[in-house]
């Protein structure tokens, strides 16, 4: 496949475009979709999909946690809606698990830019479904459409991997993590503010006469849901993102960075990565499978602990949504600062071994934070230890911020490095398709995110919070052991390369 030579400045421009677009995408994603809470409060003459779903959730909650059966109606409703929100998030992640490899394969065939613009159409459609959702069924459909069309994250990682060298890869991918942290910190606040606004009395939209005459099958008036303003802002953000990508993003699939004309074999050779010895495609495929397993297992345990954190603070300290918001905001802001500062400095010119060590250090911090959370209920119940318990909570939160800043970005960088030796392959069947590989890698992580919260919540409610976090801590410790093997292998490869 022919490649196109580009300057390093063009590569930096692509990274800037991708990150700005990703921030718009994630801001639109992280606004709270309060339609479920609003719809749950309505009185319907006949059973609805939401009422049936909530009834199933109540039955599950009563089975897993019988003590909540005697709770007040408002308290029990809060449990039900929180669990339902987790189920919807798991549904979204499961859709991502299904579609990510296919989107990656399409991007290898048709290009990152074209497929990314195609997925943006699906994202806008998802937001429009939410905007005009008159019932929970349409809202759930919008989540499914959004999950099956959300390709911005994986295609952004693929595009950045296309235009960066192995030495600058981890540093650039740290910006992806920073975009996540910023969006998940400020997006919910923006959505909460917009949810207090309406389009006017009744939120009724009258179609223009010309549009109504051109499409007679459309109703002359459309009733919007009461939380349509955040949905409308989502439509605006996604539309701006689509236009921005169309105007500014270059195709990166066949990209090759060059600081000189590649007119001779020696000059072309100088553009190849020189920091790692060449391995066979079979060895690289085996490494990718190992990384995918670690990615799945880590996110299984981490996302489960992350989802139940607000349950823990509510049970132990009776924290409100605002107090939990401050805790999550602290984690997000600290994570963004770490990724924009510490992680980017450490990742500058980092070798594969150093990147693997950063991932392992984040996993070790995760295990330590989970141990702290496992001990927290025991400390909180001790007399006179309230201050110590809250100190332990905030220390664990700081550890989780470090985890968010290091692990997934480093794993993404390691996976992308295994696709950088394609030009060494002598046969077409030996080549590794970057988009498909990174899509499959993300798919594994999304499966962990889909199942982890459900499994951890079940342990949390049926056994105890201490048991749930202890299981997660042991699980992450086993993942650390697997990561240590990759660090050792990269160290040996580096020694072999130096000897050669």
Please report, for the chain, the start and end positions of each structural domain, with discontinuous segments joined by +: 4-255+284-499
Tens digits of residue pLDDT in 462-478: 889 999 999 999 999 99
Asked if the model's pLDDT at residue 232 lies above 80, the reply is: yes
Task: Give the pLDDT confidence score for residue 249 in this predicted structure.
Answer: 95
Nearest to 308 by CA among 480, 147, 462, 479: 462
> Which band of pLDDT confidence, cut at 50, 70 and 90, is reported for residue 103?
very high
Which stretch of DSSP H or E encloses residue 204?
Answer: strand 204-206
The whole-angstrom separation of Cα 34 and Cα 38 is 6
Top mean-pLDDT range of 254-258, 378-382, 472-476: 472-476
| Cα dist from 446 to 304, 357, 478, whole Å | 12, 23, 20
Where do the DSSP E strands lie in 52-150? none
Residue count of the chain: 500
Looking at residue 69, its pLDDT comes to: 53
Q: Which one-letter DSSP state was computed for residue 250?
A: P
Tell me if the domain spanning 4-255+284-499 has CATH number 1.20.1250.20: yes
pLDDT at 378: 93
422 versus 132: the higher-pLDDT residue is 132
Are 112 and 435 a contacting pair, CB within 8 Å? yes
CA–CA separation, 455 and 302 (whole Å): 12
DSSP state of 69: G
Mean pLDDT of 64-84: 61
Query: In this predicted structure, what is the pLDDT of residue 272?
Result: 42
Strands 204-206 and 221-223: antiparallel
Residue range 395-419: mean pLDDT, rounded: 95
**Digit-coded pLDDT (tens) for 266-317:** 334 434 444 555 677 888 899 999 999 999 999 999 999 999 998 899 889 9
Residues in a beta bridge with 222: 205
Measure CA of the first residue to CA of the last residue in the chain; give whole Å. Answer: 31
pLDDT per position as a tens digit, 88-102: 889 999 999 999 999
Average model confidence (pLDDT) across the chain: 83
pLDDT digits (tens, 9 = 90+) for 211-224: 777 777 666 777 67
For the stretch 135-152, pLDDT in tens is 778 888 998 999 999 999
- Would you state the pLDDT for residue 472? 98
Beta-bridged to residue 257, according to DSSP, are: 6
Q: Which of 8, 25, 426 is nearest to 234 (CA)?
A: 25
- Kindly state the average pLDDT of the residues 42-68: 66
pLDDT of residue 499 exceeding 80:
no
Q: Is the pLDDT of residue 199 over 90?
A: no
Between 245 and 60, name the one with better pLDDT.
Answer: 245
Q: Is 285 helix (H, G, I), strand (E, B) or coil?
A: helix
Structure tokens at 38: 């609003």
Q: Is the pLDDT of residue 154 over 90?
A: yes
pLDDT, tens digit (0-9, with 9 covering 90-100), for 420-464: 755 444 454 556 789 999 999 999 999 999 999 999 988 998 889
Looking at per-residue confidence, does 171 or 69 come out higher? Answer: 171
**pTM of the entire predicted model:** 0.86
Is a pLDDT exceeding 90 seen at residue 494? no
Question: What is the percentage of the chain residues whose pLDDT exceeds 90?
Answer: 49
**Percent with pLDDT over 70 in the chain:** 78
Give me the pLDDT at residue 34, please. 54
Residue 489 has pLDDT above 60, yes or no: yes
């Amino acid at each position: 496949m022919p490649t196109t030579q580009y300057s390093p400045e063009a590569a930096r421009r692509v990274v800037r475009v991708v990150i700005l677009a990703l921030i718009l995408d994630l801001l639109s994603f992280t606004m709270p979709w309060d339609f479920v809470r609003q719809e749950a409060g309505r009185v319907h003459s006949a059973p609805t999909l939401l009422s049936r779903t909530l009834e199933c959730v109540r039955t599950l909650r009563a089975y897993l946690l019988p003590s909540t059966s005697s709770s007040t109606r408002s308290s029990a409703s809060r449990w039900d809606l929180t669990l339902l929100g987790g189920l919807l998030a798991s549904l979204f992640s499961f859709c991502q698990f299904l579609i990510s490899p296919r989107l990656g394969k399409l991007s290898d065939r048709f290009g990152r830019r074209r497929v990314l613009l195609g997925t943006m159409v699906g994202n806008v459609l998802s937001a429009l479904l939410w905007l005009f959702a008159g019932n929970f069924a349409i809202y759930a459909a919008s989540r499914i459409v959004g999950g099956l069309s959300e390709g911005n994250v994986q295609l952004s990682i693929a595009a950045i991997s296309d235009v960066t060298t192995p030495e600058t890869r981890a540093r650039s991918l740290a910006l992806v993590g920073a975009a996540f942290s910023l969006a998940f910190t400020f997006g919910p606040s923006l959505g909460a503010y917009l949810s207090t606004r309406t389009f006017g009395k009744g939120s009724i939209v009258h179609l223009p006469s010309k549009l109504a005459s051109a499409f007679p099958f459309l109703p002359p008036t459309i009733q919007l849901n009461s939380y349509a303003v955040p949905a409308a802002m989502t439509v605006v953000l996604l539309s701006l993102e689509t236009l921005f990508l169309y105007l500014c993003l270059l195709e990166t699939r066949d990209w090759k960075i060059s600081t000189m004309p590649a007119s001779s074999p020696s000059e072309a050779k100088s553009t190849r990565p020189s920091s790692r010895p060449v391995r066979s495609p079979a060895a690289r495929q085996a490494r990718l499978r190992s990384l995918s397993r670690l990615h799945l297992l880590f996110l299984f345990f981490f996302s489960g602990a992350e989802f139940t954190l607000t349950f823990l603070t509510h049970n132990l300290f009776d924290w409100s949504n605002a107090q939990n918001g401050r805790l999550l905001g602290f984690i997000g802001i600290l994570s963004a600062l770490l990724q924009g500062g510490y992680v980017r400095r450490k990742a500058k010119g980092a070798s594969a071994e150093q990147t693997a060590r950063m991932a392992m250090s984040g996993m070790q911090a995760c295990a330590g934070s989970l141990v702290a959370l496992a001990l927290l209920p025991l400390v909180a119940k001790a007399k006179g230890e309230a201050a110590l318990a809250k100190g332990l909570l905030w220390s664990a939160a700081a550890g989780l911020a470090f985890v968010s800043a290091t692990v997934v970005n480093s794993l993404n960088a390691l996976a992308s490095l295994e696709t950088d030796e394609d030009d060494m392959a002598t046969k077409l069947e030996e080549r590794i398709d970057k988009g498909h590989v990174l899509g499959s890698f993300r798919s594994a992580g999304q499966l962990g995110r889909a199942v982890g919260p459900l499994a951890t919540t079940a342990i949390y409610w049926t056994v105890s919070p201490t048991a749930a976090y202890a299981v997660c801590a042991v699980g992450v410790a086993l993942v650390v052991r697997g990561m240590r093997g990759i660090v050792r292998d990269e160290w040996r490869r580096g020694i072999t390369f130096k000897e050669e």
